[in-house]
Structure 1
Amino acid sequence: MKKILILSILLTGCSTAYQPHALLGQQGFAETQLSQNHFRVTFKGNEKTSQERASDFALLRASELMIAGGCTNFKVLNSANENIGSLAFPQSHKVNAFSSSIENRILGNSDGSSKLYSPKSTIEVGCATENVSAESRIYASASINESIKNKYQIGMK
């Protein structure tokens, strides 16, 4: 029982960090190379991750891939955001307001079943030769990378 409680606290402490896709919980980023300097990038968060954060992290990963490929600018060709639902355990006891939502479900401290939602953001990007333009969704790889890392304090000591 102690192990379950510790695991639930570790998993629910905060939103998903900027990290590669992990098997446990299937959270983080993943990419598929469609052709040279053309990728589909997905970021999936947990129930405490905002849709904005998921979108930003997909864009951050895309900028890293473009920088690695020598692309100064990249274009977002397609994008999709969704909330993926998962069922929580049905319960019959009162909610403990001092516990995390997952701990309440594990310990049976919730009223009825509920659905949890995790954001998922998917973008398809390609290297662009055109100039940066918000209307045409062309971004400067280094600028986007730095901006998002600053926003979420990634890689800063």
Structure 2
Amino acid sequence: MLHAKKLLIIAPILLAACATSYQPEGFTGGYSDMRMGSDLYRVSFEGNGYTDPDRAADLALLRAAELAMSNGASHFAVVDSASSSRQGAFTTPQTSSTTGTVNTYGSTATYNAQTTTYGGQTFIVSKPTAQNLVLLVRDPDEFDGPVYDAQTVAEGVKDRYGID
């Protein structure tokens, strides 16, 4: 019973900070980028099992906006994009507890036992990834196609997810 109580106390704490935060890619996910040409980048965001696919897509756009602004471009265009999900399984640890009683009568003893098992559940986890091939656009009037305003995207995504 003690293990079940611990799980009930710990579960809300874990759920409060579960979705992948906006950070460079690490153990729990995050963004990565690679320069493919002078103004061409591949930008990715990988979430964990608690990350919504829309959040992964938005945070990939945020990284593209930051790259544009840090490289002197006011806009960017998404040349190609892809999204996917990796699935994995997580199994909770299993523990068992046995309690019993012994009754004696003369030279005869009887034993009555009960075993209770906790854990051992398997959960399927889906981890979303959003990937964009991004072209930095310095003059949107000279670009033939739709472009994103980097400042507007950065402010909008940061406001939506409470990112400083």
Give me the TM-score of the superposition, normalised by structure 1.
0.72
Which residue is 1:78 aligned to?
80
Counterpart for residue 22 of structure 2: 18
Rounded Cα–Cα distance in structure 2 between residues aligned with 1:91 and 1:153: 34
Q: Which of 121, 132, 140 in structure 2 is aligned with 1:130? A: 140
Cα displacement string for residues 95-118 of structure 1 (whole angstroms, at most 9, x for unaligned residues): xxxxxxxxxxxx7242xx442101
Q: Higher strand share goes to which structure?
A: 2
Q: Which has the larger radius of gyration?
A: 2
1:139 aligns with 2:148: yes
Q: Give % identity.
A: 29
- Alignment partners' CA distance in 2, 1:115 and 1:153: 28
CA RMSD of aligned residues (A): 3.2
Distance 1:34 1:151, change over 3 A: same
Conservation of the 8 A alpha-carbon contact between 2:73 and 2:136: yes
Deviation at 1:83, TM superposition (A): 1.0
Name 1:98's counterpart in structure 2.
none
Name structure 1 gaps, 5 residues minimum.
94-106
Moved over 3 A (4+): 8-13, 90-93
Deviation at 1:127, TM superposition (A): 1.5
TM-score if structure 2 supplies the norm length? 0.69
Task: Measure, in 2, the Cα distance between the counterparts of 1:140 and 1:124.
Answer: 16
